[in-house]
């Protein structure tokens, strides 16, 4: 940036000012990206990758405690739990709490995710997990179901049954399960489409099979319907029709100062690769 300003505007700017300006631009464009995607693609499920948020946010807040609380905040499936995690971060550093909220929670915290797509991933492999559907119920959903089944049968207890569902106790917390709308206050069932431990316990009390309550989107039929259209043929680049009014010129090459870098720049907390590995 410093070299570009010098070549373009003949202005000398300090390295510190360039760094602050770059950080400000990134913060502004991040907010603008959320609004732009919402306007252009209103039905898309736009999310941030928490791993990338960790890489940026933990440049200043580097302790393992901050990293742990960041991921716990992202994994919070309901708003009350998310606020408790933010409170824990604020007790360590109020400034860290405020800087984390600069990333819109609706784009990286499960508590604010849309429940339409039935995927609770907060990492960049959001689409990869969807593409893993290969059998009647995908291996990923079966793995989650088995974990929930173990928790539900060993740690959850039904206290009261109401008109539309049950009150399930797990440790010191209580959750309400609505059997009609297939919802639980933990939002685990809503986000994944897979019965949560509390729902599994309620279904067992009704002598119903929890496996039958896994959402249709995890079925082989849904997978085949999604991938039934083939990619059409595309001609080579020399056959493409070019519109003179929309031609794009490559950016002007700028020779950077100093010796060219051979190795990539590693993060400060990233492990250094040993010789021979």
pLDDT at 213: 87
Average pLDDT over residues 218-226: 85
Q: Three-state secondary structure along the chain? A: CHHHHHHHHCCCCCHHHHHHHHHHHHHHHHHHHHHHHHHHCCCCCCCCCHHHHHHHHCCCCCCHHHHHHHHHHHHCCCHHHHHHHHHHHHHHCHHHHHHHCCCCHHHCCHHHCCCCCCCCCCCCCHHHHHCCCCCCCCHHHHHHHHHHHHHHHHHEEEEEECCCEEEEEECCEEEEEECCCCEECCCHHHHHCCCCHHHHHHHHHCCCCHHHHCCHHHCHHHHHHHCCCCCCCCCCHHHCCCCHHHCCCCCCCCCCCCCCCCCCCCCCCCCCCCCCC
What is the average pLDDT score of the chain? 79
pLDDT at 84: 93
- Which residue has better confidence, 158 or 274? 158
pLDDT at 2: 56
Instruction: Report the percent of the chain where pLDDT is more than 90.
Output: 12
pLDDT at 133: 45
Question: For 97-143, how does the pLDDT look when each residue is reduced to its tens digit (9 = 90+)?
Answer: 888 998 889 889 999 998 888 888 888 655 554 555 444 445 556 66
Split at pLDDT 50, 70, 90, the class of 71 is: very high
């Amino acid at each position: 940036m410093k070299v570009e300003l010098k070549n373009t505007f003949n202005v000398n700017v300090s390295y510190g000012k360039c760094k602050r300006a770059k950080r400000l631009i990134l913060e502004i464009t991040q907010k603008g990206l959320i609004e732009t995607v919402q306007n252009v693609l209103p039905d898309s499920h736009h999310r941030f990758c928490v791993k990338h948020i960790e890489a940026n946010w933990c440049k200043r807040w580097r302790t393992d405690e901050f990293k742990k609380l960041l991921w716990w905040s992202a994994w919070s499936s309901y708003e009350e739990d998310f606020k408790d995690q933010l409170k824990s971060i604020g007790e360590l550093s109020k400034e860290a709490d405020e800087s984390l909220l600069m990333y819109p929670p609706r784009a990286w915290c499960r508590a604010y995710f849309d429940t339409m797509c039935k995927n609770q991933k907060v990492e960049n492999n959001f689409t990869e997990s969807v593409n893993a559907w290969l059998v009647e119920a995908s291996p990923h959903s079966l793995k989650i179901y088995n974990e929930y089944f173990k928790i539900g049968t060993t740690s959850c207890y039904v206290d009261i049954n109401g008109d539309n569902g049950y009150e399930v106790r797990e440790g010191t917390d209580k959750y309400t399960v609505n059997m009609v709308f297939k919802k639980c206050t933990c939002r685990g069932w809503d986000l994944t489409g897979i019965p949560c431990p509390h729902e599994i316990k309620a279904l067992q009390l009704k002598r119903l099979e929890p496996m039958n309550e896994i959402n249709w989107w995890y079925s082989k039929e849904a997978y085949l319907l999604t991938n039934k259209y083939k990619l059409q043929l595309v001609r080579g680049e020399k056959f493409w029709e070019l519109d003179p009014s929309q031609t794009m010129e490559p950016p002007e090459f700028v020779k950077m100062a100093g010796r060219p870098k051979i190795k990539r720049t590693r993060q400060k907390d990233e492990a250094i690769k040993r010789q021979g590995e």
